[in-house]
Chain A
Amino acid sequence: ETGVTQTPRHLVMGMTNKKSLKCEQHLGHNAMYWYKQSAKKPLELMFVYSLEERVENNSVPSRFSPECPNSSHLFLHLHTLQPEDSALYLCASSQEGGGETQYFGPGTRLLVL
């Protein structure tokens, strides 16, 4: 595997379900991110992790819960979501203090029914 990978690629869930999105980076970076991309809107930063510590929570509802167990893995735990949470969820990583360019995964397309 190379770059940034995300699983699953597609997810359909009911409003009462609990699911998790997984991201893995193979670039040796020290920072990881979750973004939300809705139709016709700019990418919205959700969470930033540096060396497994959360450094930013961009006013995200508590039904989204991130977890970063190590510098290569990032999870987004989902529970009791709303239909308006349907979107493309993107993970990215970067080397802060270095090149700082963020590299993105392919995304998880989430549909909440």
Chain B
Amino acid sequence: EDQVTQSPEALRLQEGESSSLNCSYTVSGLRGLFWYRQDPGKGPEFLFTLYSAGEEKEKERLKATLTKKESFLHITAPKPEDSATYLCAVKRADSWGKLQFGAGTQVVVTP
């Protein structure tokens, strides 16, 4: 069975203190790995899609990387507005439209 595990469950950072979030996955035939950001009471906001091992994508202070077993979301010099829950999801190559989500990492950045 496909599994997506995110760690840590929660992360508290000082403004400017860089860190990384982990998403470990076991899936048969990965089609894509997706990162989302979710603010309380709102829908997930798309950040990145990664398709193959070695791929990297960046957006402002965020950088996502992918290996054959896990993905990292690096947050460089975070600001309070980066506080959110970050969700990881995987899609199998033979799965039409179905995403398997992890439980998320709740990030709090304090000034």
Contacts and interface: CB of A to CB of B under 8 A. Distances in A.
B104 A104 contact: no
B61 interface: no
A46 to B, nearest CB: 11
Question: Chain A's interface: helix, strand, loop or mixed, by majority?
Answer: strand
Question: Chain B's interface: helix, strand, loop or mixed, by majority?
Answer: strand
A38 to B, nearest CB: 11
A48 B45 CA distance: 19
B98 A56 contact: yes
B31 A100 contact: yes
Interface residues of B, number: 23
Contacts of A102: 34, 46, 97, 99
A41 B87 CA distance: 11
A66 interface: no
B44, B101, B104 interface centre (most CB from chain A within 10 Å): B44
A45 B91 CA distance: 12
Contact of A43 (B41, B49, B96, B101): B101
Interface of A: 4, 6, 31, 33, 40-43, 45, 48, 50, 55-56, 88, 90, 92, 94, 96, 99-107, 109
14 contacts: A31-B97, A42-B103, A43-B44, A45-B99, A48-B98, A90-B43, A94-B97, A96-B96, A100-B32, A100-B49, A101-B49, A102-B34, A106-B43, A107-B43
Q: Which 4 residue pairs across A and B have the least CB separation, nearest first?
A: A104-B43, A43-B101, A42-B101, A104-B44
